[in-house]
Amino acid sequence: MKGTGIGSFGFVLINGEAIQGTINTKLQFNKDIFLLQFSACVGGCYDMKQTIQTVSGCPRTEAEWNVRAAMKNCAAMCSDFSYHCLITKEMNATIEVCAEPKYIQGYCTYFDTADDRIKGLYAADCSKYENRCPTRYHSTKAFLYQACYDLVRAYVTVRPSSTSSTLVITNTKDSTANPSNNTSEDISLAPIIIPIVLVLVIVIIAILILLKRRRRSTPTKRGKEAIDSFSGLKDSEEGTCLVGDTGAEVEEMSPDPSEDIIARIREEYEEKFKEMNKKIQLLKTQKENDTKDKEKLKRQVLEKNKECKTLNNRLQEAKGNIRVLCRIRKCESSNCTRSTKTTVTIDKSSKNHELPKTYTFERVFDTNSTQEEVYEEIRELIRSFLDGYNLCIFAYGQTGSGKTYTMEGPHGNDVEMKDDRGIIPRAMKQVFDMTGDLLVCGWTFQFRASYLELYNEEIRDLAKGSSDDVKHDIVGAKENKTIVTNIIEKEVKTTEEVLKFYKESSKNRTSSKTVRNERSSRSHAIFRLEMNGQVENIEGIKDTCSGTLTLVDLAGSERLDDSANTSTNNETKKINLSLLELTKVLRSLRIKEPPTYRSSKLTHLLKNSLGGNSKTLMIVNVSPSKECQKETERTLEFGREVSKVVLENIPRKNK
């Protein structure tokens, strides 16, 4: 035996609509040697309830799983939390998995005895993988497995058959590197390999524990168990950190299946959404006296709407409850960044022989990105607000990096329906269009808008403008919304009304000239839209739905010396202090310590949007200009920090 390698990859099969029958999945193996392991996730990773049950309860009895390893001469070692089978190429093995659920998920951990290339993988440069890991890969284990996956993927292809649910795993590795004439030797080595594998597993656990101690991060129980199931390792120590506390973490180890799942859920969602819209249009054209048909259509719309909600939530859970996107500002001057769809690379000075630094985000919008492209990425998330989740979108970045442009658009207060309008006017239109459509089937909605700014740690009600001489205090929270005293919460019924309110109020926002921006916003602007909806459902029972959409344009995050002007120094200090507190809160959420929200007004105000029943999206805005390089790096570091946050999944407030 020349060396011992270890790798793993996951696969996921989704049988779409055909839920009723049994799914028969055949796996054929013709690699040298595999440790096959089936674990977790009966019922689909995106169904939180079922995932919790299966991961924490481990109801993986032989009867439930009915896993039949139709293999001859197979050295099988089964543990009580997952199935392991050691398979060699010579066995020409085929495994049939029969299971009721919609999704089957399995993991195949692979050991290649004739390859030195994987040796020492666990001592690999983790930061290399960390940089490459999209937002939800920030876990010690996750990126180690990501590393394995990368290596294994290089010579294993997973090819789903177009006509049946058969996966054929073929060995595409260079045959000279693994001559077939030594396979009989592999078989005879099988009993030796098992102890080696076990030793290897122990070594991995030890390394992981060490790494975890250094990082001092804490996993969510479910996330940890999901990883354990994935790896087949159990360790009692705490320490790994996953982003997006959902069953989706398991898929995140192997990007392709996860992407695949997201694409399939989206496809299903879009299909249902289209069907619902068709029915809504039909309903709108129904004659007044056609009561019978109308009632039938109403019921169908309500049903479809429920299905859409479930699917959209699965989609958002799969993406993670806290997401970070990055946008690079348009720039005419020298550019220090390079970007792909998911990475930003900062080129360092060649004088100091510094290597370029790459940051990975779920999505990166380059200098040519349009407002529409940015909005398309978050359109589905806005739907979550209408489904009864608190949603917070905020723009973070250095002064002049394009935060206001992204949130509002380039026209200052003129936020009407122009092509380059930003997130706020687009979101308002989507919200009122979508709820307007649902009115035909009996839904009623009430919306209340408020617009506050935090300037020098003082809350101002922008809706009151200069006449606002009353003190505003945060007095706790009601129904998951932070309550602020003496503010205007205007009832709005249409897109036009809400945008008029926004436009009038934003005239009062505090701005001044800074080195980098003629009209720099010197305050955090927090626009909130509160929704309460009711409908009588199919069974005649009242169904309610409520949520708060918070859209935040943070003040510029530049360092003190960048602002130079002494009159703004105080402002800058306060801004930076509150941003620092925001970072601390996010860090606390990450390491599962209770955050001290009250240490700044900003975090106190955003309390209900940064934990618990909320979905959070941060857009880190950066300038690509060389002069801003240091600030750009700081911003990207911040974005990376946020992308490590784990949020609890608390049921939405839809009763």
Ligand X SMILES: Nc1ncnc2c1ncn2[C@@H]1O[C@H](COP(=O)(O)OP(=O)(O)OP(=O)(O)O)[C@@H](O)[C@H]1O
Distance from C-alpha of 355 to C-alpha of 349, rounded to nearest angstrom: 8
* Residue with smaller CB distance to ligand X, 413 or 534: 413
Residue 465 marked as a ligand binder: no
Q: Contact between 621 and ligand X (CB under 6 A)?
A: yes
* Contact indicator for 146, 137 with CB cutoff of 8 Å: yes
Report residue 188 CA to chain centroid gap: 46
Task: Indicate whether 410 belongs to the interface with ligand X (CB under 6 A).
Answer: yes
Residue type present at position 468: D
- In the bound state with ligand X, the residue whose beta carbon lies nearer, of 213 and 330, is 330
Residue 397 in contact with ligand X, rule: CB under 6 A = yes
Does 403 interact with ligand X (rule: CB under 6 A)?
Answer: yes
C-beta of 244 vs 400, nearer to ligand X: 400
Q: Is 402 in the site for ligand X (CB under 6 A)?
A: yes
Smallest gap from residue 488 Cβ to ligand X (A): 24
Given the complex with ligand X, which of 393 and 440 has the nearer CB atom?
393
Q: Which is nearer to ligand X, 226 or 344 (CB)?
A: 344
User: Measured from the CB atom, is 230 or 394 closer to ligand X?
Assistant: 394
Which range of residues in 112-120, 283-291, 397-405, 592-600 is near ligand X by CB under 6 A?
397-405
**Nearer of residues 17 and 332 to ligand X, judged by Cβ:** 332
Stretch that binds ligand X, among 244-252, 379-387, 516-524, 565-573 (CB under 6 A): 516-524
Kindly state whether residue 521 participates in binding ligand X, applying the rule CB under 6 A.
Answer: yes
The answer to the question of residue 329 lying near ligand X (CB under 6 A) is yes
* DSSP codes of every residue in 634-649: HHHHHHHHHTT-----
Query: Using N-to-C axis directions, what is the helix angle for 140-153 and 221-231, rounded to 10°?
Result: 30
Per CB under 6 A, which region of 75-83, 246-254, 392-400, 523-531 contacts ligand X?
Answer: 392-400
Determine if residue 3 is labeled as part of a ligand binding site: no
Per CB under 6 A, 563 contacts ligand X: no
Tell me the window of 128-136, 189-197, 401-409, 586-594 that interacts with ligand X (CB under 6 A): 401-409
232 binds ligand X (CB under 6 A): no
Query: Nearest distance from residue 397's CB to ligand X, in Å?
Result: 5
Q: How far is the CB of 520 from ligand X (least distance, A)?
A: 3
Contact status: 533 vs ligand X (CB under 6 A): no
Write out the binding residues for ligand X, residues 60-99 only, by CB under 6 A: none
CA 535 centroid distance within chain? 30
Whether residue 544 is annotated as binding a ligand: the answer is no
- Report if residue 401 touches ligand X, rule: CB under 6 A: yes
Stretch that binds ligand X, among 15-23, 158-166, 311-319, 517-525 (CB under 6 A): 517-525
In contact, 621 and 513? CB cutoff 8 Å: no
CA–CA separation, 248 and 81 (whole Å): 20
The verdict on 405 binding ligand X (CB under 6 A) reads yes
Please indicate if the annotation marks 399 as binding a ligand: yes
Backbone phi, psi, residue 644, to 5°: -90, 0
Collapsed DSSP state (helix, strand, coil) of residue 467? helix
CB within 8 Å of 379: residues ≥ 6 apart:
430
Q: Which of 109, 96, 219 shows the shortest CA–CA distance to 167?
A: 96
Measured distance CA(489)–CA(529) in Å, rounded: 9
Q: Is 404 in the site for ligand X (CB under 6 A)?
A: yes
Q: Given the complex with ligand X, which of 384 and 568 has the nearer CB atom? A: 568
403 labelled ligand-binding = yes
CB atoms within 10 A of CB 323: 26
Q: In the numeric block, which tokens belong to residue 46?
A: 């995106």
> Where does residue 236 rank: exposed (0-12), middle (13-18), buried (19+ CB within 10 A)?
exposed
Total residues interacting with ligand X, rule: CB under 6 A = 18
Burial of 132 from C-beta contacts in 10 A (0-12 / 13-18 / 19+): middle
- Beta-sheet strand order (sheet of 7-14): 7-14, 103-110, 33-38, 83-88, 75-78
Listing DSSP states for 339-352 in one string gives E-SSEEEEPPPTTT
Nearer to ligand X, 156 or 336 (CB): 336
Residue 402 annotated as lining a ligand binding site: yes
Using DSSP, state whether 259 is helix, strand or coil. Answer: helix
Cβ–Cβ < 8 Å for 129, 147 = yes
CB 265 within 8 A of CB 315: yes
Exactly one of 520, 613, 616, 649 binds ligand X (CB under 6 A); that residue is 520
Beta bridge partners of 525: 453, 553
Binding residues among 463-502 for ligand X as defined by CB under 6 A: none
Residue 330 binds ligand X (CB under 6 A): yes
Binding-site sequence positions: 397-404
Annotated binding-site positions for ATP: 397-404
In the complex, which residues of this chain contact ligand X (CB under 6 A)? 329-330, 397, 399-405, 410, 514, 517, 520-521, 555-556, 621
